[in-house]
């Protein structure tokens, strides 16, 4: 039996998350937040929650996604009255102290890698080359060199303080 390393599992999950995020944002509109439950209870297992910036985008996503399948199973999409996912999350899980494990009734969110979070949530601000529609699995864009403004400010401060002493 093949053992899958934690890194391979995270990479597989990140790829799933990126695929869903990019497709939904490209088809329906800007995503403010996307969460995937890591719970084991029947009512939360495999749930994906997407908060769109505009309600109309969420309505269109629900209509379209209810006609889709994923992994050989139908997608059941619905609008949620929850506007702040933090209220639905298990605070004990976030600090590693939830005693109910995966069967907790509050959301246990499966985290994505920092790199993926930065990439996905910077797309809309033009953080990537080519209008922000670039897969992170492609060759990364070259790093741009930017000089810190603090150097020039510090130099000006030192010059001013020297002038005062004279």
pLDDT at 49 (0 to 100): 95
Q: Check: CATH 3.30.70.330 for 6-134?
A: yes
For the chain, what are the domain ranges? 6-134
Residue 72 and residue 163: Cα distance in Å, rounded?
75
10-residue stretch averages of pLDDT, the chain, 166 residues long: 87 96 96 93 89 96 95 93 89 92 89 94 61 45 41 46 49
pLDDT at 144 (0 to 100): 40
pLDDT at 82 (0 to 100): 86
Give the tokens for residue 141: 């864009």
Within 13 Å of residue 156, how many CA atoms lie on the same side as its CB?
5
pLDDT at 60 (0 to 100): 97
- SS3 string, 48-102, reads EEEEECCHHHHHHHHHHHCCCEECCEECCCCCCCCCCHHHHECHHHHCCCCCCHH
Helix (H) / strand (E) containing 152:
helix 149-165
CA angle 131, 133, 138 (to 5 degrees): 120
pLDDT at 1 (0 to 100): 61
């Amino acid at each position: 039996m093949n053992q899958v390393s934690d890194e391979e599992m995270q990479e597989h999950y990140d790829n799933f998350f990126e695929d869903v995020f990019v497709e939904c944002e490209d088809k329906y509109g800007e995503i403010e937040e996307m969460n995937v439950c890591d719970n084991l209870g029947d009512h939360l297992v495999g749930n994906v929650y997407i908060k769109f910036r505009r309600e109309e985008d969420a309505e269109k996503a629900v209509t379209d996604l209810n006609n889709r399948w994923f992994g050989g199973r139908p997608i059941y999409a619905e609008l949620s009255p929850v506007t702040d996912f933090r209220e639905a999350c298990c605070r004990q899980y976030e600090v590693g102290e939830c005693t109910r494990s995966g069967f907790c009734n509050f959301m246990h969110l499966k985290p994505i890698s920092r790199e993926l979070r930065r990439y996905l949530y910077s797309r809309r601000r033009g953080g990537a080359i080519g209008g922000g529609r670039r897969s992170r699995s492609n060759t990364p864009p070259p790093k741009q060199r930017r000089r810190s403004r603090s150097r020039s400010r510090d130099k000006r401060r030192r010059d001013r303080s020297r002038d005062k002493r004279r």
